[in-house]
Structure 1
Amino acid sequence: MLVREEAGAAGASLGQVKEYLRISGSGEDGLLEGLIKSATALCEQFLGQWLILGEARETVLADGGWQRLSARPVSAILGVDAVGPDGAGQALPVDAYSVDIDASGDGWVRARPLSGQRVLAVRYRAGMAEDADGLPEPIRQGIVRLAAEHFSARGGEVASPPAVVSALWRPWRRMRLA
């Protein structure tokens, strides 16, 4: 089970969306901020990657095999705990497990089978950039365009994402085959 320790930061700024929409007042700021968060979440789902660096906590099996972490791209694996049947965690010594981050940004963890403890709790950091300014411009621009599209359709019209948004994001899309 994957838990994002903090809410993901927005992939574009309020100022960028307001500039795109040519809005100068602050009366719509709350609505626009919500639309930016929504567009950021949709972008992350489409890309299969976290945009802004954040900490995650994930439980994986401790069966001796390599376990792939769900969030990506992984930048650091911070620690591994063995979780007992009672749910209590205990930090594992470094020689009791192995970690790897491969060239594509997938994080991997392996621990030898532990007596009575079949689950590991892994703490790690994942994301493409420290903040929205570190994201590639096409990703940010797609978030701005999607938020603006949803803002324009707020009168009850059905908003369909413009094809340009997926075209902007597609080069960074990572999919896993089942």
Structure 2
Amino acid sequence: MSFQPENLPAMPVALIQEVKDFLRLAHGEDDAAIAEMLNSAAHLCENFIGQMLIARAVTDRIPVRGEWQKLKKRPVQAITLVEAIGPEGTLTALPATDYAMDIDSDGTGWVKMHPAHGVTRIAVTYEAGLAADWASVPASLRHGLVRLAGYFYTHRDGEYISGPPSAITALWRPHRRMRLA
């Protein structure tokens, strides 16, 4: 499963400055480029560890079944809304008596629909992410982001990059959550 880079909060000036300090850059001419490189690094990090870095709202659209269904993003902090999707795509909030929800200790979210009145698809909105903001991201992940953005910066002149360097993946590996099919 791949995480999409949408809805990532803007990179704070402090994080951009960390990359500049790492690279020993004194000028601000490349701040916008460094912010984009940090966004790319965050996207790669989320896909590598299988978890969202910054908590943000997510909506999964799933078919109704009579069994527990796993939500796509992790770690789930809260399931906030379950809505029926009508034939025309209209959304209608469902009463709590129509479904059950659970969040495991590892942050995996689950939803189970009780027998409903003709509902075939639902939209589940939930909050998922490791940290509330960039300052709260675990240190090893944050340092990996800084190093990877620095790596992108130093290799920006068209050199082929085959993936994150092993020093960066070593920082991220303890946070990695694998999904088995």
TM category (shorter chain) comes to over 0.9
Of the structure 1 ranges 49-58 and 112-121, higher mean CA displacement relative to structure 2 is found in: 112-121
Tell me which residue corresponds to 2:39. 37
Structure 2 match to 1:175: 178
TM-score normalised to the size of structure 2? 0.91
User: Are residues 3 and 140 of structure 1, via their aligned partners in 2, closer, same or farther at CA, if it must alter by over 3 Å?
Assistant: closer
- Three-state SS of the structure 2 residue aligned to 1:79 is strand
Corresponding residue for 1:8? 8
C-alpha change, 1:3 and 1:18, in structure 2 (3 Å) is: closer
- Measured after TM superposition, the shift of residue 13 of structure 1 is 1.2
Number of aligned residue pairs: give it.
176
**Which amino acid is the alignment partner of residue 148 of structure 1?**
G
What stretches of structure 1 of length at least 5 have no aligned partner?
none
Per the TM alignment, residue 116 of structure 1 is displaced from its structure 2 partner at its CA by 2.7
Distance in 1 (CA, whole Å) between partners of 2:19 and 2:129 is: 22
Alignment-derived partner of residue 162 in structure 1:
165
Q: Normalising by structure 1, what TM-score?
A: 0.93
Change (3 A) 1:69 1:135: same
- Equivalent residue, structure 1, for 2:74: 72
Instruction: Give the root-mean-square deviation of aligned CA atoms.
Output: 1.9
Shift of 1:84: 1.6
The offset of 1:3, in angstroms, is 9.9
Q: 1:3 to 1:152 in 2, by over 3 A?
A: closer
Bigger mean CA deviation after superposition, 21-30 or 155-164: 155-164
- Which ranges in structure 2 are unaligned for 5 or more consecutive residues? none
Q: Which amino acid aligns with 1:8?
A: L
User: Which residue identity does 1:63 align to in structure 2?
Assistant: R
Contact 2:76 2:127 in 1 (8 A): yes
Match of 1:59 among 58, 61, 78: 61
* Letter in structure 2 aligned against 1:82: A
Report the equivalent of 2:123. 121
Tell me the distance in 2 between the aligned counterparts of 1:13 and 1:48.
22
